[in-house]
Amino acid sequence: MRLMAGLTQRELAERAGVSQSLIARIESGTVDPRLSTLRRILKALTPSMGGLRAEQVMHSPVVWVEVNEPVKNAVELMERYGISQIPVLRGGNVVGTIYETTLLKQFLKTKNPSSLFNKPVHEVMEEALPIVSPSTPISEILALLGGDKPAVLVMREGRLLGIITKIDVISAIKPREVKGVAHGSKQG
């Protein structure tokens, strides 16, 4: 995140009010900072990322499935929209997530993979994606996505507003002078 913000360790340390050696140890993984220290560092990173907030990066509307729908409905939606995870709702409340990897693991465990398609999604769903408010700074979203979660949900007053994936954040913070990339060439 520091590199994406274009900051040196020293600059980030000064902005966050911590030592440069602490920043170096956090980056190397040799120290696990206190939550209050992490918040100061994230707050220091936010201005360098253009002050972007969740509502500026999110995709809306969100594709989702109801908790009692069959897995085949989730798979069809994931295929149609080219997504690898889908939130599961019960009466408008987020209660879980279905991931491609979860489905693959389920297929490998069962003797009759086709039976999985008729199960209700609540039998194979995992915990819900992290939830943020529309005003959450991009730096906090980056911290959430730096773990094992591929996306975060954006909610206001119990209403699902949007979803932010890793590529959404990467696209939002990439330098504006990047015009395009080469897509490779045929190798013969």
CATH number, domain of 35, equals 1.10.260.40
The reply to whether 124 falls in a domain is yes
- Report the number of distinct structural domains present in the chain: 2
Tell me, what's the pLDDT at 152? 96
Note whether residue 142 is domain-resident. Answer: yes
Residue 47 pLDDT: 60
Among the listed residues 43, 53, 34, 49, the one whose alpha carbon sits nearest the alpha carbon of residue 15: 43
Residues 161 and 79 in one domain: yes
**pLDDT over 80 at 178, yes or no:** no
Q: Facing residues of 159 across strands? A: 156
Q: Are residues 123 and 36 in the same domain?
A: no
What is the rounded distance in angstroms from the CA atom of residue 39 to the CA atom of residue 103?
35
What proportion of the chain, given as a percentage, has pLDDT over 70?
Answer: 87
pLDDT (average), residues 126-145: 89
Whether 150 maps to a domain, the answer reads: yes
Residue 15 CB coordination number (10 Å): 18
Residues 94 and 37 in one domain: no
* Any domain includes 116: yes
Same domain, 31 and 62: no
**Quick one: 124 and 90 in the same domain?**
yes
Range of the domain at 56: 50-175
Confidence of residue 133 (pLDDT cuts 50, 70, 90): very high
**In residues, how long is the chain?**
188
Please tell me the predicted confidence (pLDDT) of residue 144: 85
| The token pair that represents 143 in the structure block | 């911290």
Res 3: pLDDT: 74
Mean local confidence (pLDDT), 15-26: 90
HEC assignment per residue over 44-100: HHHHHHCCCEHHHHCECCCCCEECCCEHHHHHHHHHHHCCCEEEEEECCEEEEEEEH
Residue 186 maps to a domain: no
Q: What is the pLDDT of residues 81-116, one digit of tens each?
A: 999 999 999 998 999 999 999 999 988 888 887 889
Q: How many CB atoms lie within 10 A of CB 13?
A: 20
* Residues 160 and 147 occupy one common structural domain: yes
Q: How do residues 47-80 score in pLDDT, each as one tens digit?
A: 655 678 899 899 999 999 999 999 999 999 999 9
Whether 109 and 167 share a structural domain: yes
The model carries a pTM of 0.70
**Sign of the dihedral defined by the CA atoms of residues 38, 39, 40, 43, in that order:** positive
CA 30 from chain centre, in angstroms, equals: 24
Give the per-residue pLDDT at 179: 42
Asked whether residue 183 carries a pLDDT value surpassing 70, the answer given is no
Give 120's strand partners: 70
* One domain, residues 153 and 71: yes
Predicted confidence at residue 35, as pLDDT, reads: 75
| Rg of the chain taking only CA atoms, in angstroms | 20
169 with 77, same domain: the answer is yes
Q: Indicate whether 74 and 166 sit together in one domain.
A: yes
Torsion of CA 171, 174, 179, 180, to 10 degrees: -60
- Do 61 and 143 have their domain in common? yes
Strands across the sheet with 85-90, in order?
65-66, 85-90, 93-99
Q: What is the mean pLDDT of residues 133-154?
A: 86
Work out the number of other CB atoms within 10 angstroms of the CB of residue 10. 12
Banded pLDDT at 2 (limits 50, 70, 90):
confident
Residues 115 and 171 in one domain: yes
* Strand bridging mode 151-156 / 131-132: parallel
